Structures are given as structure tokens and as C-alpha cells.
């Protein structure tokens, strides 16, 4: 390989190294979906199950943010018997009273400069779905696929 081809290859690799993180940021902060979609928390739970997710536990919760109307927190683990020690993934589903309060909660989460929890946010109608834990991207895409087909 000649010197010119090696220089071009090095430039292409450098550009990819710089652009890939920005692409990931853009994909992980996609705009919220339509608020008016008719759905329920049970539809979201069913989509998670159809995506092959085994839910170890669930409990009721209401976030302490304006417009939050209540929801559920689900825990997922490779070993549901050891869930008390370390759940692998936590999925929070919260219903909001309006599009404005739902989107404000998402903006608040995304703008936290420090201490931002590791997570991915999805929306489905009036619901915010927050996935926290390792490997959340793959699970998020499976849930999103199932929600779009329902």
C-alpha cells in the first residue's frame, strides 16, 4: 500500500472516531413520540414480555415531578432469586398528565450535569419509559420494536 492510501485511511478512521460518539448521542436523545397515542401501562408491560424480557418484580410508584400520575418499576435480572443483591436492569414506567409535563420531565433528566443516572428514555403516548442498568440499549430497542408493532 502506498503512503497516500495509508494517509487517506488514517483520516477516515479519525473522522469515524470523532463522528460515531456524536451519532450515538443523537440516537439516544431522539424526540419524544406523540402524546395522543392510546395505550396503557399493561400494553407496555405486554410489549416488554413479547420482547423476551423476564420481569422479576414490579411495584407501584409515582415520580416526584409535576404532571406525574403514577406508574410501575420493574426489575430484571439474569437470576430473579438473587434480585435483592443486584438487579441487572430497572425499568421505570410513568404516566404523565400532559405532553408538556412529560417532555419537561425528559428534558430535566437529560440536562442533569452531574449524577445523571445511566439510562435510556423511551416514550409511548403519555408514558415515559426509563431503562437503567447495563445492556439497556439492546433491551430498549427490543421494547421499542414491540411498542411500535402494537
Q: Could you tell me where the beta strands, DSSP code E, fall in 31-118? A: 57-61, 68-76, 89-96
Please choose, from the candidates 118, 150, 132, 120, the residue with its C-alpha nearest in 3D space to the C-alpha of residue 45: 150
- Which pTM value belongs to this model? 0.72
Residues 127 and 142 in one domain: yes
Burial code (b: 16+ CB inside 10 Å, e: under 16) for 107-136 equals eeeeeeeeeeeebbbbbbbbbbbbbebeeb
Number of domains in the chain: 2
List the domain range (segments joined by +) for residue 10: 1-30
The per-residue pLDDT string of the chain (150 residues; one tens digit each, 9 = 90 and over) reads: 588 877 887 777 766 676 655 554 444 555 677 777 788 999 999 998 888 888 888 999 999 999 999 999 998 877 787 656 566 788 999 999 999 999 999 888 877 765 555 678 889 999 999 988 776 567 888 888 888 876
Q: In terms of domains, do 108 and 41 share one?
A: yes
Amino acid at each position: 500500500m502506498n503512503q497516500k492510501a495509508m494517509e487517506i485511511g488514517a483520516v477516515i478512521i479519525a473522522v469515524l472516531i470523532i463522528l460515531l460518539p456524536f451519532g450515538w448521542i443523537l440516537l439516544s436523545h431522539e424526540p419524544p413520540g406523540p402524546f395522543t397515542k392510546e395505550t396503557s401501562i399493561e400494553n407496555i408491560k405486554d410489549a416488554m414480555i413479547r420482547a423476551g424480557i423476564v420481569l422479576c418484580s414490579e411495584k407501584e410508584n409515582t415520580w416526584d415531578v409535576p404532571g406525574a400520575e403514577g406508574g410501575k418499576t420493574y426489575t430484571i435480572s439474569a437470576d430473579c432469586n438473587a434480585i435483592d443483591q443486584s438487579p441487572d436492569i430497572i425499568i421505570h414506567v410513568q404516566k404523565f398528565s400532559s405532553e408538556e409535563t412529560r417532555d419537561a420531565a425528559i428534558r430535566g433528566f437529560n440536562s442533569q450535569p452531574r449524577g445523571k443516572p445511566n439510562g435510556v428514555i423511551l416514550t409511548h403516548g403519555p408514558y415515559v419509559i426509563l431503562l437503567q442498568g447495563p445492556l439497556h440499549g439492546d433491551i430498549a430497542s427490543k421494547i421499542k420494536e414491540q411498542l411500535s408493532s402494537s
